Amino acid sequence: MPGLLLGDVFPNFEAETTTGKIKFHDYLGDSWGILFSHPRDYTPVCTTELGRAAKLSCEFSRRSVKMIGLSIDSLEEHHGWTKDILAYNREESGLPFPIIADSHRELAVSLGMLDPDEKDKDGLPLTARCVFIIGPDKRLKLSLLYPATTGRNFDEILRVIDSLQLTAQNRVATPVDWQPGDRVMVPPNMPEEEAAALFPFGVYTKELPSGKRYLRYTPHPPEQWRHSASHRTIQERGEQEEKKNGEEEDGEEEDGEEEEEEEKEEEEKKELPDSL
């Protein structure tokens, strides 16, 4: 998105919202923040997205993330649309986050939100489905850009926030398809001696044909380190994960054979006389 890169301080804009006028940095305070834009009020995909965001608001709050939406319509239209969103969710209480009114597209233009392929009846571009995640330092940590035809996955957005918050506090990275609680990766630029000292439950290194020792794993910090007195070593975890698929297949075959043997034994017991 032009003019706004990861690590940049997010603009401290002022805006009218459904809960009053805000100054963005003041609105965020010391929290994390998520700003998500929508092409238009009273549109089907946007309605389902805001409904889902509202249902997940407690999950965002639990992660200290303040939510705010944006659409290029007026406050009056936002308030009317909110009733439809609540009806879609089968709820009566108001939305748990404000929606910015950007009817002149000033904010959408300055943040690079416009989609040149999606236009309104007057030929003006609509906003794309943007997601900006901002850290407590007011810097941009992540940006996503979806076309108008594709709704966002808010469960994935929560997963990304979990990763961002974990890696902001710990010198680790999260691998593909990572979920909270899964093992994490040791940065490749960390010397092995430092890694051994930093991660008390050890580091498992995957052996590779290249001989390079860059695929290194350690348990999810810090919960497992604090609470798991009987934690298996990371070496055992790594070796067991490598064998997992094969073991599952073997286990299924063994379970089938055991069940057959048990059934035969039961049949033989039924054929025995009550007494000798």
Integer angstrom CA distances of residue 264 from 57, 79, 269: 55, 69, 9
CB-based contacts of 187: which residues, under 8 Å, 6+ apart?
A: 171, 172, 173
Q: Which of 227, 66, 75 is nearest to 136 (CA)?
A: 66
Q: Is 41 a catalytic residue?
A: no
* Look-up of token digits 């590779």: 208
Q: Is 137 a catalytic residue?
A: yes
Report residue 20: phi and psi, to 5°.
120, 180
Complete edge-to-edge strand list for the sheet that includes strand 216-218? 184-185, 216-218, 204-205
Which of these is catalytic: 41, 46, 73, 130? 46
Which of these is catalytic: 8, 117, 120, 137? 137
Report residue 86: phi and psi, to 5°.
-65, -40
| Three-class HEC string of 225-273 | HHHCCCCCCHHHHHHHHHHHHHHHHHHHHHHHHHHHHHHHHHHHHHHCC
Catalytic center residues: 46, 137
